Structure 1
Amino acid sequence: MAQPSPPAGYEDAAAGVFPPFDPTYFASQLFWLAISFAVLYFLLSRWLLPRIGSTIEERKDRIADDLDAAASLKTQADDAVKAYEKSLADARAKAQAVGAEARAEAEREAAAETASMEAELDQRQSDAEARIAKARNAALSEVRNVAADVASTVTEHLAGLKVKREDAESAVDAVRGQEAAR
């Protein structure tokens, strides 16, 4: 099979040098490189770089403003924390004062209630002692009467003597006096 022939004008393409490396084209390549560089430089310096610079400057200013605002907010937060801690300490002190006052009031009320109860108990005790003394005296007088009756009855049964009530009471009183003296 035969190789196709190259199109017209391309006969030496396979035999020649790569055109960008061909020294015959260096001058035109350098010319277009200079023009492209000048246009690119002009576009960058007049249009793109000022926009980038202004954007960078705006960001720098915004960052500085944000840092200033953050510092201001931090100062405000620190002041708020200090105010909160002070109000918290004041509230604790007030709560302790109220607690101490309530405790003192409760102790006063308890002392008054205790004094009132003690007075009432003393009165009840006095009343009870008076009732006991009255009952004791009544019981002792009954014992005296019973003892006198028993003494007269025993004397009558044992000795056959009739003893007057007054004599039996005198004898019981004499024996009680001897018992109390011991």
Structure 2
Amino acid sequence: MIKKIFFQSIFLSFLFFMEAFAAESGGMPQLNPEFWISQIFWLTITFGILYVVLSKLILPKISSNLETRKSQIVDNIEAAEKQREQSELNIVEYEKIIQDSKNEAKNYFKQSREKVLKDINLKKNALDKELSLEIQKAESEIQELRDKAPEKINKIAVETSTNLLQRLIGAEVNNSSISAIVDDLSRKKMDKYYGN
């Protein structure tokens, strides 16, 4: 490309040289033919140096910088693509971990709930058994008191009646006859209560 520009500039210089012959009468020193050879010489030297500087120093650096940037951009794109793929894998793995954690939490909750319900049922059954035993014990005590109550009542009634009669009469009273009367009365009362 620089060679092409260099040759075009030489070609244009020659065209300018041809036109300069026609404009020589105008009085411009650049167009005076006696200075043309030196102008063409310095033009060739200047463009030659410019060509050498551009082709050997500047353009290789620009080209290497462009290649470096291009390779760096390609590397960055590849790294970004790898990171995107890794991020997608991490997201999938993260979602799997979350789902596994949710399932595990549900299982723990279910197991804990079942354990608590089982413990409650066991304690309820134990409490029911204990209450049943206590109720049976209380019922047996009540029945025992109920069975013994008439006898104790009769005994108290006989003693009280004997004491009252002794105080009223002032003499000893036969306990067996009072006991028979109290037994007879208590049987009638018991028949009345239990008969209904």
Q: TM-score, normalised by structure 1?
A: 0.71
1:91 is matched with which residue? Answer: 101
- For 1:67 and 1:89, how far apart are their aligned partners in 2? 33
The structure carrying a bigger helix percent of its residues is 2
1:64 is matched with which residue? Answer: 74
- Over the aligned positions, Cα root-mean-square deviation in angstroms equals 3.0
Asked if residue 45 in structure 1 is aligned to residue 55 in structure 2, the reply is: yes
2:185 is matched with which residue? Answer: 171
| Contact map agreement 2:158 2:182 (CA 8 A) in 1 | yes
- For 1:174 and 1:157, how far apart are their aligned partners in 2? 27
Range 134-143 or range 98-107, more displaced: 134-143
Gaps of 5+ in 2: 1-26
CA 1:149 to 1:170, structure 2 compared with 1: closer, same or farther past 3 Å? farther
Residues 7-42 of structure 1 deviation map (CA, whole Å, 9 limit, x = unaligned) = xxxxxxxxxxxxxxx954774567535422331122
- For 2:46 and 2:125, how far apart are their aligned partners in 1? 112
| Contact map agreement 2:154 2:183 (CA 8 A) in 1 | yes
Task: Measure how far apart 1:88 and its partner are.
Answer: 1.8
CA 1:115 to 1:42, structure 2 compared with 1: closer, same or farther past 3 Å? same
2:17 is matched with which residue? Answer: none
Range 139-148 or range 57-66, more displaced: 139-148
- For 2:188 and 2:165, how far apart are their aligned partners in 1? 16
Task: Measure how far apart 1:168 and its partner are.
Answer: 2.8
2:22 is matched with which residue? Answer: none
- Aligned 1:18-37 pairs, distance under 5 A: 24=29, 27=35, 31-37=41-47
- For 1:170 and 1:75, how far apart are their aligned partners in 2? 106
CA 1:176 to 1:128, structure 2 compared with 1: closer, same or farther past 3 Å? closer
CA 1:38 to 1:55, structure 2 compared with 1: closer, same or farther past 3 Å? same
Residues 112-152 of structure 1 deviation map (CA, whole Å, 9 limit, x = unaligned) = 22212211221122112212221233233211222244345
- For 1:32 and 1:78, how far apart are their aligned partners in 2? 65
Identity %: 24
Task: Measure how far apart 1:64 and its partner are.
Answer: 1.3
- For 2:193 and 2:159, how far apart are their aligned partners in 1? 19
Query: Which of 114, 132, 147 is residue 124 of structure 2 equivalent to?
Result: 114
Highest RCO, 1 vs 2 (Cα 8 Å, sep ≥ 6): 2
2:7 is matched with which residue? Answer: none
CA 1:136 to 1:181, structure 2 compared with 1: closer, same or farther past 3 Å? closer
- For 2:164 and 2:49, how far apart are their aligned partners in 1? 160
Count of aligned positions: 161
